[in-house]
């Protein structure tokens, strides 16, 4: 098979309200962006149901991955200016890897991950799709795949894509705070990128970037609790899990449930054992639109559980939700279960579709997991939690748990 030639002849600029202009100046990158696999990301919200609370937060996975690509370009330019050796092939590979890092996300991204397609997380799917593109686009994606899977020897390239301080996180914090209007999520991505360096093959932050890095971690913490795990957002996302679970249960029990599109129907009727590779083409047709249209259709389904949940989500008549630091008691839950069972004339087991509890968890910074290393002028290296007068201290390393309960509003008429 002939190696396709991809010369960087063409050049496109894309308007981005966050960064101004994003430049794409390589034909292979342009081919990837033009591919239907990539274009599908236009139809997946970056933040699932966050827009129910933050109406501006309707931006897409496509926009986020273009943004991450832009920051990757900046980071690579910066590192090269500092004398770090990065070949053209590595540069292109890194750019492709970040462009495709989220290509495996399904409808509503994380919200339905492992629910709609059990056992297939988005990284696995991303890798499958990258391999498919590799075949289709002249075997040109090997460096990208090696970097993406951390099998490339310059580890800092992987760390730029997937680490505690990668361009993915920098873009999503910046972009999500821009589109939600939560100004406190703003980070100094520009400064952090200027402070990045490589030491013994690993990505590090120069000493002058300590405060910006701390600020980055605090902004992330804030965004988690104020936006990503906002109780209303969390509730909506759990509700669509319940919808999919109910739809599958009905199907298993022999009740007909037709999705709005054949693609979604296929995934609702998956056999218990399946090889995801064989479903890639169908997966590539699946996005938020299949789901939301189906919710709209199912508002008229005879099953009161499915139809009610769908009506709730479509009309934004969400369940009531409470957060607290202690688990909810059996009694509290039973009371709500009773109410729901009576109201809908369903069994207590079925009432769990309207009453459910769980935990929301976030860790501000886990130094035992991935580290953010600070390179000091004297050549020493310390973790961000170990610098003098660190803001990020031991107690922030353990995950914060909040317990939640979702249940029917009492004044609701069904």
Q: Which of residues 257-296 bind its own copies (CB under 8 A)?
A: 260-263, 285, 289-290, 292-293, 296
Residue partners of 192: CB distance under 8 A and separation at least 6: 165, 170, 205, 209, 212, 213, 216
Considering the complex, state which of residue 114 and residue 361 has its C-beta at the smaller distance from its own copies: 361
**Cβ atoms < 10 Å from Cβ of 225:** 16
Binding pattern for the stretch 78-97 against its own copies, x by CB under 8 A and - elsewhere: ---x----------------
Name the minimum Å distance from CB 223 to its own copies.
9
Q: Six-digit token pair at 241?
A: 């899990």
How long is the chain? Answer: 414
**Residue of 69, 92, 33 whose CA lies nearest to 175:** 69
Site for its own copies in 49-78 (CB under 8 A): 51, 53-56, 58-60, 62-63, 66
Name the minimum Å distance from CB 331 to its own copies.
19
**Helix/strand/coil for 205:** strand
Name the minimum Å distance from CB 180 to its own copies.
6
Binding pattern for the stretch 222-261 against its own copies, x by CB under 8 A and - elsewhere: x--xx---------------------------------xx
Considering the complex, state which of residue 259 and residue 337 has its C-beta at the smaller distance from its own copies: 259
CA torsion angle 110 112 116 119 (round to 10): 40
Site for its own copies in 176-195 (CB under 8 A): 178-184, 186-188, 190-191, 194
Give the C-alpha distances (Å, rounded to integers) separating 156 from 109, 144, 166. Answer: 27, 13, 10
Considering the complex, state which of residue 128 and residue 194 has its C-beta at the smaller distance from its own copies: 194
Name the minimum Å distance from CB 190 to its own copies.
5
Site for its own copies in 326-385 (CB under 8 A): 364
Residue partners of 227: CB distance under 8 A and separation at least 6: 47, 50, 53, 54, 57, 176, 180, 182, 185, 233
Binding pattern for the stretch 23-52 against its own copies, x by CB under 8 A and - elsewhere: --x--------x-x--x--xx-------x-
Q: Residue 400: how many CA atoms within 13 Å on its side-chain side?
A: 16
Considering the complex, state which of residue 245 and residue 265 has its C-beta at the smaller distance from its own copies: 265
Query: Facing residues of 204 across strands?
Result: 197
Dihedral sign, CA of 296, 297, 299, 304? negative
Site for its own copies in 206-225 (CB under 8 A): 211-212, 214-215, 218-219, 221-222, 225
Q: Does the protein bind its own copies through residue 411 (CB under 8 A)?
A: no
Q: In the block, which residue shows the tokens 């750019």?
A: 95
Q: Six-digit token pair at 87?
A: 């070949």
Q: Does the protein bind its own copies through residue 6 (CB under 8 A)?
A: no
Considering the complex, state which of residue 178 and residue 283 has its C-beta at the smaller distance from its own copies: 178
- Using CB under 8 A as the binding criterion, the count of chain residues that bind its own copies stands at 75
């Amino acid at each position: 098979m002939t190696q396709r030639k991809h010369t960087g002849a063409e050049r496109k600029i894309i308007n981005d309200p966050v960064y101004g202009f994003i430049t794409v100046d390589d034909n292979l990158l342009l081919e990837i962006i033009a591919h239907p696999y990539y274009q599908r990301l236009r139809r997946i919200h970056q933040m699932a149901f966050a827009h129910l609370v933050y109406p501006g937060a309707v931006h897409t996975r496509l926009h986020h991955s273009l943004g991450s690509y832009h920051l990757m370009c900046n980071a690579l330019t910066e590192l090269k200016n500092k004398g770090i050796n990065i070949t053209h092939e590595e540069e292109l590979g890194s750019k492709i890897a970040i462009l495709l890092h989220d290509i495996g996300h399904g409808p509503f991204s994380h919200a339905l991950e492992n629910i709609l397609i059990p056992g297939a997380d988005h990284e696995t799917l991303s890798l499958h799709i990258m391999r498919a593109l590799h075949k289709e686009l002249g075997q040109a994606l090997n460096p990208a795949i090696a970097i993406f899977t951390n099998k490339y020897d310059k580890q800092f390239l992987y760390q730029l894509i997937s680490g505690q301080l990668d361009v993915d996180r920098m873009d999503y914090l910046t972009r999500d705070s821009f589109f939600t209007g939560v100004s406190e999520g703003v980070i100094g991505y520009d400064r952090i990128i200027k402070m990045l360096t490589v030491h013994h093959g690993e990505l590090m932050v120069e000493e002058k970037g300590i405060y910006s890095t701390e600020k980055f971690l605090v902004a992330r913490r804030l965004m988690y609790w104020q936006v990503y795990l906002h109780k209303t957002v969390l509730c909506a996302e759990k509700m669509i899990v319940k919808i999919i679970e109910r739809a599958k249960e009905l199907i298993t029990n022999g009740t007909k449930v037709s999705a709005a599109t054949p693609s979604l129907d296929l995934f609702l009727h998956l056999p218990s054992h399946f090889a995801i590779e064989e479903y890639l083409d169908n997966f590539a047709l699946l996005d938020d639109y299949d789901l939301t249209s189906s919710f709209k259709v199912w508002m008229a389904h005879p099953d009161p559980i499915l139809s009610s949940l769908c009506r709730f989500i479509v009309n934004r008549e969400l369940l009531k939700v409470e957060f607290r630091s202690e688990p909810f008691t059996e009694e509290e839950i039973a009371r709500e279960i009773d109410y729901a069972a009576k109201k809908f004339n369903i069994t207590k087991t079925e009432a769990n579709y309207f009453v459910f509890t769980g935990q929301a968890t976030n860790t501000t910074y886990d130094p035992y997991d991935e580290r953010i290393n600070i390179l000091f002028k004297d050549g020493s290296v310390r973790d961000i939690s170990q610098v003098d007068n660190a803001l990020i201290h031991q107690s922030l390393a353990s995950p914060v748990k909040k317990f939640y309960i979702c249940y029917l509003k009492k004044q609701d008429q069904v």
